[in-house]
Amino acid sequence: MWDDTAFGDIGIPAIQKIRGFETPSLNKMASEGILFTRMYTEVGCTPSRAAVMTGRLPIRNGMYNIGMLRESHGLRDTEVTIAEVLSKEGYATAFHGKWHLGDIEESYPENQGFDETFYTSYNQIVQIWTRKGEASNSSIGMYEDMLPKDPYKLDDTFITKGNGWVMVAEGTKGGKTLQWKDNTVETYAAADAEAQRRTLDFIERQAKAGKPFYITHWPHMTMTPLAKPEKISVSRSMLQDGLQGIVDPLVGNVMAKLRELGIAENTLIVAMADNGPMSHHPPPAGGWAETIFRGGKGDFLEGGVRVAAQAWWPGTIKPQIVGDILHETDLYTTFARLGGALQHIPTDRIVDGVDQSALLINGDTHSRRDHVFIYAGPNLGATVKGNYKRHWMSSDPIGDASGIPAAFYFLPSDPREASPLLLPLIHLKQPFDRMRVRHELWIKKYPNTPEKHGIPFTGIANASPEVKALAKPPVDLKKLPFDPLEYIEHLDQLPFDPAMDPDL
């Protein structure tokens, strides 16, 4: 899984010709396997990755916000990841790449079921949270020692200081968690190559030991001009250079390694984007663009959640284009089914993923899903049922007055959701209402879990003084004339002592 790629940018050479890049390995994978046309994701990086890991919509486990620098929150240890499910059935598990599921200790992938890990806790923005980023104006104000003194400045605690986090970490289940190298752009730029090396090594070790394995490899993908100014693609953009220079060689090398070891026909690979293109507020020379669908990262429009995706399993998957609906949560249940581990999926909560093994084995028209609920953060944004879609958030002023907004769409003839049809589709009002009522009744029965907060980057064995300092409140809470935490909704989950002990 990689970032922010529109449907059509992978697996369709004609579109790549127009967009100025090429991915021969990924295109070969698509031609030899399944090219999905209706793979749905969540609207952003963190929620999408949480959905894959837990088989649950991120609204259910409080992972609907995209994690940023020192977010102080993450995936709860009560969630049951696909790594935990497969581990119970004897699988060796590894995580390599962009985790982006929290910076609190319980959320680290080695504490979420993975035997071996190498990862970043945040997204690609960390490459500009560096001294080179400050020097190039890619970030502003993080390294104040590089700037002229501000004579009007009163507060020295407002801006996040440089190095007060861990750029790249590594760990083992039950073992130590360590920072890998330092917080420089060079460290970030070297992470993808190191992750690929570890993935290929992990595959070879498990294959030679005759042990079944599961790897989540999520490339960082974005080629940073701060560390590598040379261009790779005709497009000369971050997206295209990352796909052509990082993701495609990785996929080609993995496929070659599986064939070399003689296990290709017993191995399933799924390759996909985590959400649509970063078409809103992209960085210069990003290269992101809408293709067929309108919208992008952050939207509940098709362009935000209908992504490039494909699957490869020689001897089992027949080459084809599939028009069925599936959602990324389905990977959780499908992987569990294929690994003989369905009995380890928890039954005390809602698991949204459905078993799609029939779709992989029998092909087009064999999906067990014909609908998706699409959230915009914590709010339900839209529902898709077959070829029909209803927006629950609408700017239609008549809808505000009547309660019937013109927010019904027929997707085959309107893939850009530009022409809502009120009268021709008004008969869908009650069916969609019923879907939403059932959905919300299940939530009432099994309430969503709130976000989990904590001190970031505890448990790092070689933590720097700056990281260790995160565990110390910057003020003596006992000396304040009020409790600054009493207004916080989730006081019991915050990393502070209710007795206001400044030493925690």
Q: Domain limits of the chain?
A: 13-373, 374-445, 474-504
Distance CA 78, CA 108 (A): 13
For range 327-354, the mean pLDDT: 98
HEC string for 380-410:
EEEEEECCEEEECCCCCHHHHHHCCCCCEEE
Tally the C-alpha atoms within 13 A of residue 230's C-alpha that lie toward its C-beta. Answer: 2
Q: Tell me which of 24-33, 74-83, 214-223, 372-381 is least confident.
A: 214-223
- Matching residue, tokens 């769409």: 409
Amino acid residing at 327: H
What pLDDT is stored for residue 150 in this prediction? 92
Q: Provide the pLDDT for residue 504.
A: 37
Average pLDDT of 383-390?
98
Written as one letter, the residue type at 82 is I
The band of 125, judged by pLDDT with boundaries at 50, 70 and 90, is confident
State whether residue 421 is helix, strand or coil. Answer: coil
The band of 502, judged by pLDDT with boundaries at 50, 70 and 90, is very low
DSSP code for 482: S
Give 13-373's CATH code, choosing from 3.90.180.10, 3.90.1660.10, 3.40.720.10, 1.10.287.3510.
3.40.720.10
CA atoms within 13 A on the CB side of 431: 13
Provide the mean pLDDT of the chain. Answer: 92
For residues 158 and 437, the model is more confident at 437
pTM value?
Answer: 0.94
Helix (H, G, I), strand (E, B) or coil at 273: strand
User: Do residues 238 and 274 touch, judged by C-beta distance below 8 A?
Assistant: no
Q: Cα–chain-centroid distance for residue 157?
A: 31
Enumerate residues 6+ apart whose C-beta is below 8 A from 423: none
pLDDT at 500: 47
